[in-house]
A and B are shown apart, each in its own frame.
Chain A
Amino acid sequence: GENVEQHPSTLSVQEGDSAVIKCTYSDSASNYFPWYKQELGKRPQLIIDIRSNVGEKKDQRIAVTLNKTAKHFSLHITETQPEDSAVYFCAPADQTGANNLFFGTGTRLTVIP
């Protein structure tokens, strides 16, 4: 099955600084790479995703970059704000489902005002 790891597990940044979270995976068949944000006591929500035919995708302050050769993808948040404080999960997937749809262990981001 898939082995999914996120680094770091916790991250604290000053408001306005950038944050980067990395997700490594083992299944070379993975071709869909989403990031979910979960605020305290709330449900996970998709914030950005990328597919294997694209290397980078940006949506305002959020971007995702993919390195399929090295089997990792990263979430980049620029100009962080206190409302970015949450737990972020990666969940690489492929249509066969053989990797059992693992979510990463999560990264707790704290943005200090």
Chain B
Amino acid sequence: DAGVIQSPRHEVTEMGQEVTLRCKPISGHDYLFWYRQTMMRGLELLIYFNNNVPIDDSGMPEDRFSAKMPNASFSTLKIQPSEPRDSAVYFCASSQDSLVQPQHFGDGTRLSIL
């Protein structure tokens, strides 16, 4: 299996621009998670999906952030408009069939907002 695939690996853009991060989970995995990692706040869960349905988005920082999962093999995390404080590494992870299974992480997207 190819593992969880994220794109792009790096993104540098100016504040105010729209940013779209993409994730392809491991085939057959029912759960998909989006995390943000910073030195100050550590690894934070933003939102997770079960069978393409958003279950808990309480970690999404504000309305500028949105996430979708139109099908079982694709998810996006969008920031519009972006701000410098959004700079972080964003990870996508998937797990097989429950919340009490190992999570498999993608390589992350390093986002820099200038």
Binary B-proximity of A4-35 (CB < 8 A = 1, otherwise 0): 00000000000000000000000000011010
User: Is A105's CB within 8 Å of the partner chain B?
Assistant: yes
Question: Are the CB atoms of B45 and A102 closer together than 8 Å?
Answer: yes
**Using a CB-CB cutoff of 8 Å, which residues 53-103 of chain A contact chain B?**
89, 91, 93-97, 100-103
A71, B43: Cα distance in complex, Å: 21
Closest approach, in angstroms, between the C-beta of A34 and any C-beta of chain B? 6
User: Is B98's CB within 8 Å of the partner chain A?
Assistant: yes
Would A101 and B91 be within 8 Å (CB), given that A43-B106, A44-B105, A89-B43 are in contact? Answer: no
User: Is B102's CB within 8 Å of the partner chain A?
Assistant: yes
Q: Which residue of B lies closest to A42 (CB)?
A: B107
Closest approach, in angstroms, between the C-beta of A38 and any C-beta of chain B? 8
User: Is B59's CB within 8 Å of the partner chain A?
Assistant: yes
Binary B-proximity of A40-57 (CB < 8 A = 1, otherwise 0): 001111100101000000
Chain A to chain B contacts (Cβ below 8 Å), 9 pairs = A43-B91, A43-B105, A43-B108, A94-B99, A97-B55, A100-B59, A101-B33, A103-B43, A103-B45
Q: Mark A residues whose CB is within 8 Å of B.
A: 31-32, 34, 36, 42-46, 49, 51, 89, 91, 93-97, 100-106
